[in-house]
Chains A and B, each alone.
Chain A
């Protein structure tokens, strides 16, 4: 077997995940080297300044929103939910890939995840931060938002736990905290690495502080690994539940086009779909900016593309199934809603969604295409556009519900759009800061999957 790799690996095709026999030190060098750079790359600055100014726009808009009221948006009756909710669902969805890669693939012993899980997790956290912004700011009287939490008060009132929005608050809040813990736990050994390599006093202090005095002792690894496993274990049902619960915002209502049992699985699939697309976009940027081709290999990218192909097709199936059920239910309101989706005033959005989410990923059937960087880069962005429109199309079911008398057409204002764009600014600002100051690849995990990391590596002949 080439370079004596063990056969007991759970994954069959694992050949050179990390090509060119690197040493532990070379891994450390290439990963830890980045935050230690004296000279910040021009590309980073360019991206960061753009992102930060957009983030500025985001908060300016929020300020104006609080001053004027939700009227600055295109909202109305019947369409009382617009971009804010669409963006919320979109960002929560993005988050999912992170947890999926870090948790589920970890449980499935998918070792190739190690090169991307760190910044996938980071992405999750930043995405969820963006997501949490929207339901908060979209309420009419934001200064009372804490009423959705069970805090004792002079009114003797409690939140209504029957409401999907309260479920959201709990689910997404929990999701954020767990992801954060999971991410940080993973970071600790690598922060220790940075601590030990740091030169400046402040860097030493900071990395020292956050690595909690990690000594890589096996008595620590023992609890550490179990904690990591447990967190992965509970994150898995959590990540599945979060988007299911988000979907119940719609599914537990009686709006035709919302009131559907297929929503939870369909939302989760969609979330993973868009999440992977985002990871793809980011990793392509990261590996080209920081020359990490040897760690984030083509193999890894290709596998992500395959997952996108699969989930994309699942989403496509869900679209089809919605129509079938609408017809099969014999409920004229449902039937109308779906005909209206495809051919009504919002048909344009619908067909954008279909072509981006169902047709685009089909490219990846071809080995050639799913291994060409430009193709997958464009595809990943197209897919996220499509997934945003999916949420838009679903939300717009409101525009035509039961009584034709109340039908109306929602169109966003400049402020709706500014907030959407701004949220990307916030997301990328955070992400670029992460790239600059933290190890973007889980070094200890990558080292652990190096051939020489296996104790039986050189000595297996002895144990015949």
Chain B
């Protein structure tokens, strides 16, 4: 009669312990997955003002990346091409196409086309395209097989840990410098030995220093 709690409450502590255990782990795991760039960044696929197809140009037509992204070998930025570059061909090819209307407008009015940035590093991280190209890191390593993308999307997380994995062991991502833009290139059987030699010759020692990317 003086009992405050019914008998079943004696099992509460057990349930509680189990509950905490289960929920705790789930929360951690969820955070681990949904909180990570692999989820947050990968798959970012904005619609561009011009329905430009990398698949068509780089893939089917087999244009080289550097035709448009001219500065990639000389500069930090790969650079998005000026309207001029589009017009070089499209004054003759499909001059009437509806898809190309924004381009022609830009060309006429001089208002630049506002492309949406897909691969975007925080401003405190300084990535230099030219140095990676020179060291034989293929475009595909970071940007994925753009030549197969109708609409470009982000395929790698591009977070610091991800960068470090390659900086700590670059060999798998190296290729002959003349192959960097080749999306179809496959590493030969003896890639490992080749990479070792290549790193030797070009004295490739990817820095893990903070100062390499942050200034």
Contacts and interface: CB of A to CB of B under 8 A. Distances in A.
A306 B125 CA distance: 61
Contacts of A205: 4
A157 B164 CA distance: 11
Interface in B1-58: 4-5, 36-37
Contacts of A156: 160-161, 164
Contact of B159 (A155, A195, A204, A213): A155
Contacts of A154: 36-37, 157, 159-162
Query: Which 3 residue pairs of A and B lie closest in terms of their CB atoms, listed nearest first?
Result: A154-B159, A156-B161, A208-B4
A397 B5 CA distance: 60
Contacts of A208: 4-5
Which residue, A154, A157, A205, A213, has most C-beta atoms of chain B within 10 A? A154
Nearest to B163: A156
A300 to B, nearest CB: 35
19 contacts: A153-B161, A154-B36, A154-B37, A154-B157, A154-B159, A154-B160, A154-B161, A154-B162, A155-B160, A155-B161, A156-B160, A156-B161, A156-B164, A195-B4, A204-B4, A205-B4, A208-B4, A208-B5, A213-B5
A190 to B, nearest CB: 17
A156 B213 CA distance: 15
Given A154-B161, A195-B4, A213-B5, 18 more contacts: A153-B161, A154-B36, A154-B37, A154-B157, A154-B159, A154-B160, A154-B162, A155-B159, A155-B160, A155-B161, A156-B160, A156-B161, A156-B164, A157-B160, A204-B4, A205-B4, A208-B4, A208-B5
Contacts of B36: 154
A205 B162 CA distance: 53
Contacts of A204: 4
Nearest to B32: A152
Interface in B100-158: 157
Interface string B171-200: 000000000000000000000000000000
Interface of B: 4-5, 36-37, 157, 159-162, 164
A338 B37 CA distance: 53
A155 B157 CA distance: 12
B210 to A, nearest CB: 10
Contacts of B5: 208, 213
A205 B6 CA distance: 12
A213 B162 CA distance: 52
A429 to B, nearest CB: 29
A430 B60 CA distance: 72
A217 to B, nearest CB: 16
Nearest to A207: B4
A213 B159 CA distance: 51
Which residue, B4, B37, B162, has most C-beta atoms of chain A within 10 A? B4
A153 B37 CA distance: 10
B165 to A, nearest CB: 9
Nearest to A204: B4
A207 to B, nearest CB: 9
Nearest to B161: A156
A156 B167 CA distance: 13
A368 to B, nearest CB: 52
Interface string A193-228: 001000000001100100001000000000000000
A155 B162 CA distance: 8
A204 B37 CA distance: 50
Contacts of A157: 160
Contacts of A213: 5
Contacts of B159: 154-155
A204 B5 CA distance: 10
A155 B36 CA distance: 11
A213 B164 CA distance: 54
Contacts of B157: 154
B29 to A, nearest CB: 12
Interface string A150-168: 0001111100000000000
